Every structure is written in C-alpha cells, then in structure tokens.
Amino acid sequence: MSRRTAKPQQALKSLTGESCSDIQEFLVRELPRKNARRASYVADAVREAGERYDQYIVRKDEWWSFAARRDKLKKITRFIDKVASGLRELDVLSRDDLANRMGSKEIDELVGSLHRLSKEATVLIGQAQSFGRPRNLAEERWILALADIYENAFGQPATVWGTGGLRRGFYYFLELSRPKKFPAHGKLHPRQVDRLLKQRRVL
C-alpha cells in the first residue's frame, strides 16, 4: 500500500470493521492527499445521502404528484396567513390575556415566524413543477447532494465529461454510490446527469 492511501484506508476500515466497499476503495484511491483523513467522513456523507434517497422513494406516493404538492403548500400557506392575521386582529382584552399567559414577546415572535413560514412556502410554490412529466425529485436531490460532497472532498467541479468526451471521476463516484433502493442498472444517463449539473451551476 502506498503512503498516499494508507491513512484513508485505515480510517475506513476502522469505520466499517469490514473490507472496504467499492465507494470506499474509490475514496482511498482518488482522494487528494491533503484530504486523505476525511475519507471516513466523506463515506458517511455518501451513506447519509443514500439513506435520504431511500426514505424519499419509500414515501414516493406523497410527493410524486407535483399538482398535489403545490395544492398542499397553497393550503398550508392560506392557513398560516389566517392564523397570523387572526393573532394580529385580536381584541385588546384577548391580546392581554394571551400576553399574560405566554408573554407579549412570544406572541410577536410567533406572528413573525408564521409570516416567514408563509413567505418561504410561497417561494416553494413558485419553484415547484407546474406542467409536464413529473420529475424524479428524489434522484435529482441525491445527485446534487453527491455533487456537493464530491466538490468539497476533491476540490474540483462535479462534471460528467472530461477532455475528449471521456467520463470524469464524479460520474464513477455517482455510479459507485447508488443507494440501496436505486436501480442497480440503467438510470443515471450521462446526458441527464450533465444537464442537471449545468442547471445547478446556473442557480
């Protein structure tokens, strides 16, 4: 074993207590020397991103319909606005009674939090898909999470294509990191991943 790979491999073995998986071997082999000690943390981040993907897929029926997601966000926004408005419009006696029980500052902070929650929910409504074929948001979020992990660990952009059309390290990193519930074959088409990464750089 070279001096470059000794430390990350020791860290990964102590993490798992077993032989390294494909993704761990990739980290041992490819991580920059200055980040070698971070191998176990990178492996943990990859695992956590995969677990979030698996959780999203298990509950896919809750979010797959973008129309249903938008409707739920609109309903909760209307409800929040009504509660905040009702608190602001309380008669002076009821306001004082509540303030005596929980404090005037707490009431003001609650109204402020409700206003912020309504504002952020409205932003999400504007960002939600409104037409076309439903996007696989679980897959998109997993790819973007892995892109962040890769860039932080390797110090280079997460891209699919390199010189001469060759696939770069990130794509293999992605392939090796497939979550348990991610299809073992197919999916992850290079052009699809490349398109998502380009959109990420624009946002």
Minimum mean pLDDT range among 35-44, 72-81, 99-108, 128-137: 35-44
99 Cβ contact list (under 8 Å, min separation 6)? 107
- Render pLDDT for 7-28 as a digit per residue (tens, 0 to 9): 444 444 433 433 346 788 888 8
- Render pLDDT for 55-103 as a digit per residue (tens, 0 to 9): 999 999 999 999 999 999 999 999 999 999 999 999 999 999 999 999 9
- pTM of the predicted protein model: 0.79
Using the predicted structure, report yes or no on whether residue 184 has a pLDDT greater than 60: yes
132 Cβ contact list (under 8 Å, min separation 6)? none
